[in-house]
Structure 1
Amino acid sequence: MVTNVVNQSNHDLRSGWLNGLVGVVIFSGSLPATRIAVQEMDPFFLTFIRASIAGLLAIMLILFFREKRPTRNQLFSLIVVSLGVVIGFPLLTAMALQHVTSSHSIVFLGLLPMATAIFGVIRGGERPKLAFWIFSAIGSVLVMGFALSQDIAISATGDLLMLASVVVCGLGYAEGARISRELGGWQVICWALIISLPLMLLATIETMPDDIGVISLQGWIALGYVSLFSMLIGFIFWYRGLVAGGIAAVGQLQLLQPFFGLGLSATLLSEKVSPLMIAVTLGVILCVMGSRKFAH
């Protein structure tokens, strides 16, 4: 009996990390795609229309699977998730990317795992060991140090917007994972999208540009990615991973997101990949492995 419990626990942890990794890979395309989209769309319109598209898909999923409505007590958590990851993070990053490059925004993504872990302690009741925080801090410093070592222009406005986006996103991740234990991962992001949908639809209509027809195919593809993958599919894997593997532990996989993102930026935006990036990536992987070992 004890062996079966241990094996099940190990299986859950492996499943959590695998799902979390898939989520991180999907999210890695968000900033490059957003950077492409905001070159042709107003950041407010982009935020509202991507949430509207994802929200309409969420309604179809909820109706198809005949999911029960969340309780009144669960609504508060869903509103927090909605404000954090449906509205707050997409809007703040879209606004920031008008002032900074997608590469510079990676400086702040290095703080996201730490923010998620802190909110995992506050909202999720997790208690990682001291060694976990050390590995997490080293990983964050590596990511931020690498990004700051690049030839980038600094914008105070862009930096403040990215810092705010990290805080609200970390809260949204942790709160979403906490309530996913009761509702399920994909149900949480669907209900969060549905809660914000009426406001998002009205805002989309209000901010729709008169010259929407001149948006290029590349712009529409970028919008499709952030709507379908960044706002919906990525969260299905991400929340499932946070629940199974732990908010603080699996959240450290976000340390790898900047490097996946830089790889995409190199492909889509012609940004250079240096040997230093590869070396730092290896160091970050070691930090993720170390934080995983001491997370529980």
Structure 2
Amino acid sequence: MREHGSATVKSRISGSSSAGGSSSGSGGGVLLAALGVLAFSFSFPATDWALDGGHGLGPWTVTGLRGVLAGLLALGCLRAGRVPVPERRHWRGLAAVALGCVVGFPLLTTFALQTAGSAHSAVVIGVLPLATAVVSAARNRTRLSPWFWGAALAGAAVVAAFALQQNHGRPTGADLCLLAALLVCAVGYAEGGRLARSMPGWQVIGWGVVAALPLTALAAAVALAVEPVGLSVHSVVGLGYLAAVSQFGGFVVWYRGMAAIGVPRASQLQLAQPLLTLLWSVLLLGERLPLSALVAAVLVLGCIATTQRAGAAARPVAPAVSTGEPAVSNGGRQS
């Protein structure tokens, strides 16, 4: 990596723009992150299809098989691209991606969806952007503007209130699973976004799902032996989407987008994800969408616009201190 004279203080925050802050690069990053949000918005309905109301696949089977299929797909892509094994300094981050995004979040949300509908479960997505921004800011010692935090909190509150209103404001037993899923996924997102500044995003999730293969393969083998297996069009299509898109393809564009525009800014785009999930729940699952969704949508879009502007004001709390890990300049390179 080239050194830039005496400019030893490099921005290590994830809220900066990529490609030296060019508007075109930032716009491309927003588009990629938005495509990731769109892909993830189908995950809850797809999980519901895979479970098929208790007549499809079991929760452990869904989690294990989606991880195994995604891992095999990623392994094939990595081998075809002759991608070398990541450097040792990246292993801890990849472990966080594997445990948070490949194992923890899918398993916990699948359990939650057994007793809570897609609309209620969408509350975890409403608070996820805020949790991701907090983890990223703490990890990178970033100070975000009051406007950013105010808009993020407001957007998360709107989405959470709307999702909870679908269940008449009463928390369910699935909420503990959703809370745990939120925490582990936020860590996986933040670490994945950080890694995507120094390696292509598709390799980040690729190595993440490959690293999780021993756990997902074991879970799938045990689950197939003890859980009932009901194969239907819905269960097969749902599982296929979860493996190919939710677990791998969506992360490719999502991590690349986060590397381009920063974790805090990209994470705020996810404020629209619960509303998209509710829309797909209506179209695919036949759930009823109340008129209050229109009001929530306008408020959320306003919060997203505010965080996109305020995210540019992010700055490090203190100059970066050498930790043996090269600093990333210009947002990191993407291939």
Given the two structures, how large is their TM-score scaled by the length of structure 1?
Answer: 0.94
- The number of residues matched between the two structures is 292
2:31 match: 18
Structure label with greater radius of gyration: 2
1:215, 1:152 → 2: CA distance? Answer: 34
SS at match of 2:311: coil
| Per-residue deviation, 1:155 | 5.3
Gaps of 5+ in 2: 1-17, 313-335
1:149, 1:213 → 2: CA distance? Answer: 34
| Per-residue deviation, 1:148 | 2.1
| Per-residue deviation, 1:220 | 0.5
1:9, 1:28 → 2: CA distance? Answer: 29
Show CA shifts across 1:201-256 (max 9, x none). Answer: 23211211578664211110000011110000100010011110110011001100
| Per-residue deviation, 1:270 | 0.7
Which range moves more in the overlay, 279-288 or 150-159?
150-159
| Per-residue deviation, 1:124 | 3.5
SS at match of 1:111: helix
2:228, 2:73 → 1: CA distance? Answer: 22
User: RMSD of the TM alignment (CA)?
Assistant: 1.8
Matched letter for residue 240 of structure 2: G
Of residues 144, 152, 169, the one that matches 1:136 is 152
2:129, 2:229 → 1: CA distance? Answer: 39
Of residues 81, 84, 88, the one that matches 2:104 is 88
SS at match of 2:102: helix
Q: Does 1:266 align with 2:279?
A: no
1:32 match: 45
2:70 match: 54
2:145, 2:81 → 1: CA distance? Answer: 40
Is the CA contact (8 Å cut-off) linking 1:33 and 1:223 kept in structure 2?
yes
Of residues 90, 111, 132, the one that matches 1:74 is 90
Show CA shifts across 1:88-107 (max 9, x none). Answer: 00000001111211111112
2:15 match: none
| Per-residue deviation, 1:45 | 1.1
Is the CA contact (8 Å cut-off) linking 2:272 and 2:300 kept in structure 1?
yes
Of residues 185, 188, 207, the one that matches 2:223 is 207
Of residues 235, 247, 255, the one that matches 1:231 is 247
Q: Does 1:99 align with 2:99?
A: no
Which range moves more in the overlay, 79-88 or 197-206?
197-206
Show CA shifts across 1:114-135 (max 9, x none). Answer: 0010011022443321100000
| Per-residue deviation, 1:151 | 4.1
Show CA shifts across 1:176-197 (max 9, x none). Answer: 0101111210000000111111
Which range moves more in the overlay, 200-209 or 246-255?
200-209
User: Structure 1's 209 and 32: CA in aligned 2 closer, same or farther, altered over 3 A?
Assistant: farther
- Whose helix fraction is larger, Structure 1's or Structure 2's? 1
Is the CA contact (8 Å cut-off) linking 2:196 and 2:259 kept in structure 1?
yes
2:42, 2:279 → 1: CA distance? Answer: 9
Is the CA contact (8 Å cut-off) linking 2:74 and 2:210 kept in structure 1?
yes
Given the two structures, how large is their TM-score scaled by the length of structure 2?
Answer: 0.83
Which range moves more in the overlay, 67-76 or 210-219?
210-219
1:45, 1:153 → 2: CA distance? Answer: 31
Gaps of 5+ in 1: none
Q: Does 1:275 align with 2:291?
A: yes
